[in-house]
Amino acid sequence: MEESERLVSADAEGAEEQVIEAALRPKKLDDFVGQERVREQLSLVLRGALRRGRTPDHVLLSGGPGLGKTTLAMIIAAELGQPLRISSGPAIERAGDLAAVLSTLAEGEVLFLDEIHRLARPAEEMLYMAMEDFRVDVVVGKGPGATAIPLDIAPFTLVGATTRAGMLPGPLRDRFGFVAHMDFYEPAELEVIVRRSARLLDVEITDDGAAEVAGRSRGTPRIANRLLRRVRDYAEVRADGVITRELAKAALRLYEVDERGLDRLDRAVLESLMRKFGGGPVGLSTLAVSVGEEPETVEVVAEPFLVRQGLLARTPRGRIATPAAWAHLGIAQPAASPMAGTLFEVDDGADRPE
């Protein structure tokens, strides 16, 4: 199973999803939900620059997929009243590609470089100078006869986005005047996003219906919006179009997304771990075979969220189901299971499966 095939994947899917996402994107900082601190800090950076009539510091947006980096980049340009030029690390293969982009920027424009951690090394070095001095050296010719021609570029604001801030070289990170770390969203924030999106999609949803969708969205607006669209289909085909809590529950049961946002694969991994291996520890490859998946799929697609939720622990001896996992799946934990009675915190919140 590929990550992109999942309803609960945080990655953007095909072209259709991109079109819908564009329609659901907030256009102003005030409409951007959550990320309170980032929003406030960014607002100061932008207002300060506007007051001084200068281009603002370069901004780095760091955070997982679907948390709103592209959305914020567009908002930054809109708030500055500037066009947004969009490119990405992988699209810029050579320094010359970057020089071409930089040299056509008009003063004050905002350049968005998505996946900036994937920028090729020579381009990255050119970017250092561009960010700092608004100047690049374009190398003409090859070998001993090559000469560097300095080229002034208009003052611009770089907005970089990365899902892997750790992979960004220090010198590059240091050249951003403002780094925004985007976190997962709280259920209450996602609820606001779901209600807002429903309004834009012209779907009627009750408050507890929105809460139900929000709670299963893994802290991620993109997933919230996607679940909302699936629930809307269900509401329109099977009911009167209104999304109530009951309806959202029924729809998401059909799509196999549970109260905590776990899907079939997540649950299969946990269930196998518990039923076949007494809760572990068991090695990754054995666990993967038991659910009929590649080890990499289990490790990359299922485990990160399970670990984040405190349902699964990776230990040197293998994978272990935590007491919270037993509770969540409603399976009685045998007394001999490795973590029974350990100090692991048991989350026995209201999200047991029905």
Alpha helices in 239-353 (DSSP H): 245-254, 264-275, 284-290, 295-296, 303-308, 323-329
Tell me the closest approach of the beta carbon of residue 188 to ligand ATP, in angstroms: 13
The response to whether 132 counts as a known ligand-binding position is yes
| Residue closer to Mg ion (CB basis): 69 or 226 | 69
* Cβ within 8 Å of residue 136, ≥6 positions away: 98, 99, 102, 103, 126, 129, 130, 150, 151, 153
The response to whether 276 counts as a known ligand-binding position is no
How many residues would you count in the chain?
Answer: 354
Q: Should residue 65 be labelled a site residue for ligand ATP when binding is judged by CB under 6 A?
A: yes
* Cβ within 8 Å of residue 185, ≥6 positions away: 33, 34, 35, 67, 193, 219, 220, 221
Q: Should residue 261 be labelled a site residue for ligand ATP when binding is judged by CB under 6 A?
A: no
Window contacting ligand ATP (CB under 6 A); options: 206-214, 218-226, 261-269, 279-287? 218-226
Contact (CB, 8 A) for 294 and 286? no
Distance CA 274, CA 342 (A): 16
Q: Is 69 a catalytic residue?
A: yes
Distance CA 76, CA 161 (A): 13
Both tokens of residue 235?
Answer: 């509401």
Distance CA 13, CA 7 (A): 10
| Residue closer to ligand ATP (CB basis): 18 or 315 | 18
Site string for ligand ATP, 6-35 (x = CB under 6 A): -----xx--------x--xxx-----xxxx
Which DSSP letter does residue 301 get?
Answer: I
Q: Is 163 a catalytic residue?
A: yes
| Residue closer to ligand ATP (CB basis): 32 or 277 | 32
Q: Is 244 a catalytic residue?
A: no
Residue nearest to ligand ATP (CB): 68
The response to whether 71 counts as a known ligand-binding position is yes
Q: Which does 102 bind (CB under 5 to 8 A by kind): Mg ion, ligand ATP, none?
A: none
Distance CA 142, CA 84 (A): 34
Distance CA 150, CA 148 (A): 6
- Catalytic residue (one of 162, 163, 220, 297): 163
Q: Judged by CB under 5 A, which of 9, 62, 70, 220 binds Mg ion?
A: 70
Q: Judged by CB under 6 A, which of 68, 108, 160, 209 binds ligand ATP?
A: 68
Window contacting ligand ATP (CB under 6 A); options: 68-76, 119-127, 317-325, 341-349? 68-76
Q: Should residue 220 be labelled a site residue for Mg ion when binding is judged by CB under 5 A?
A: no
Tell me the closest approach of the beta carbon of residue 322 to Mg ion, in angstroms: 32
312: Cα separation from own chain's centroid? 21
Both tokens of residue 243?
Answer: 């999304």
Type of residue at 68: G
Tell me the closest approach of the beta carbon of residue 196 to ligand ATP, in angstroms: 6
Q: Which does 226 bind (CB under 5 to 8 A by kind): ligand ATP, Mg ion, none?
A: none
| Residue closer to ligand ATP (CB basis): 33 or 320 | 33
Both tokens of residue 317?
Answer: 């001896």
Distance CA 255, CA 234 (A): 10
- Catalytic residue (one of 6, 55, 57, 69): 69
Q: Judged by CB under 6 A, which of 89, 215, 221, 261 binds ligand ATP?
A: 221
Contact (CB, 8 A) for 255 and 262? no
Of 185, 190, 183, nearest to 207 (Cα)?
190
- Catalytic residue (one of 222, 226, 260, 267): 222
Q: Which residues are catalytic?
A: 69-70, 114, 163, 222
Binding site for ligand ATP (CB under 6 A): 11-12, 21, 24-26, 32-35, 65-71, 163, 193, 221-222, 225
List binding-site positions: 24-25, 66, 69-71, 132-134, 175, 185, 222, 314, 319
Q: Which residues lie near Mg ion (CB under 5 A)?
A: 69-70
